[in-house]
Amino acid sequence: MTEPARLRAVVLGDPIAHSRSPKLHGFWLKHYGIAGSYEALHVPASSLAPTLTRLMAEGYAGCNLTVPHKEAALPLMDELDEAARAIGAVNTVLFRAGRMLGRNTDAHGFIENLRQSVPDLAPYLACAVILGAGGAARAGLHGLKAAGARDIWVVNRTRARADALAAAFGVKAADWSDLPALLPRATLLANATTLGMQGSPALVLPWEAIAPQTLVTDMVYAPLRTELLQRAEARGCMTVDGLGMLLHQAAPGFAAWFGVTPEVSPALRAAVLA
């Protein structure tokens, strides 16, 4: 009797040693008893296209992409989903019948992470403020719009980048100096800058302007309890850390490659943090 083909997936990046994806998918493979594998592959920018072609030829089910490949992969795909087109980046690739399908699951991860803590998200979508205008902010904006948020503000150090994002997504832009007036109205506040991340400068906000009814989330997850989350909790706010976004964005890829929709459980969180 021939053994069924072993399902294989991989994450490509440069650098890649820090990636938590192998641990994450490895946990699910073991948990669901799937005879598959998920590895990390160091791939410099110049090697992305030939590496994708080789992996598909070798029968891989697909891959994740991280820095610096997310934008560069767009023209290499045979098909893009709506999120990848809107966000302008691919983080999940499916190899299907000789075709490369590019998806972006970061917006899904952002919203599902919030929903896991707050199942009825609608009241918190009344007025959303996103800090930052990079890739993470684009994913957050796409997720918020898809979830039904209407009054959305992008606030960024470089105003021109906030304006460009506001125009692309049909939302509003504001300056950092507008935050004392804007934050009291916010029902959702999300940090999508690198500020507060290990090795980056601190995030400094007019903390007293954050209203206690605001749902506050940080896409930064190293450290897990960022100063933003600590300050928001001290104001009485409900908070959601950024690790859950990482875990939730991984689920659609796992489901597509390995055929099981995985659960984002406390045991998974503990395994990834270990």
Residue whose C-alpha is closest to residue 249's, from 92, 121, 97, 141: 92
Contact 14, 254 (CB under 8 A): no
Q: Is 197 in the site for ligand NAP (CB under 6 A)?
A: yes
Contact 88, 82 (CB under 8 A): no
- List the catalytic residues: 70
Taking every pair of Cα atoms in the chain, the longest distance, rounded to a whole number of angstroms, is 70
Supply the minimum distance, in Å, between the C-beta of residue 3 and ligand NAP.
Answer: 35
Supply the minimum distance, in Å, between the C-beta of residue 140 and ligand NAP.
Answer: 9
Q: Is 220 in the site for ligand NAP (CB under 6 A)?
A: yes
Q: Which residues in the 243-272 window bind ligand NAP by CB under 6 A? A: 245-246, 249
Record the tokens describing residue 265, joined without a space.
Answer: 């459980």
Q: Is 201 in the site for ligand NAP (CB under 6 A)?
A: yes
Contact 245, 219 (CB under 8 A): yes
Supply the minimum distance, in Å, between the C-beta of residue 162 and ligand NAP.
Answer: 8
Q: Is 109 in the site for ligand NAP (CB under 6 A)?
A: yes
Supply the minimum distance, in Å, between the C-beta of residue 35 and ligand NAP.
Answer: 28
Contact 196, 136 (CB under 8 A): no
What 8-state DSSP symbol labels residue 72? T
Q: Which residue is nearest to ligand NAP (CB)?
A: 134
Binder among 44, 157, 261, 273 for ligand NAP (CB under 6 A): 157
3-state secondary structure of 83: helix
Contact residues: ligand NAP, CB under 6 A: 106, 109, 132-137, 156-158, 161, 192-195, 197, 201, 219-221, 242, 245-246, 249
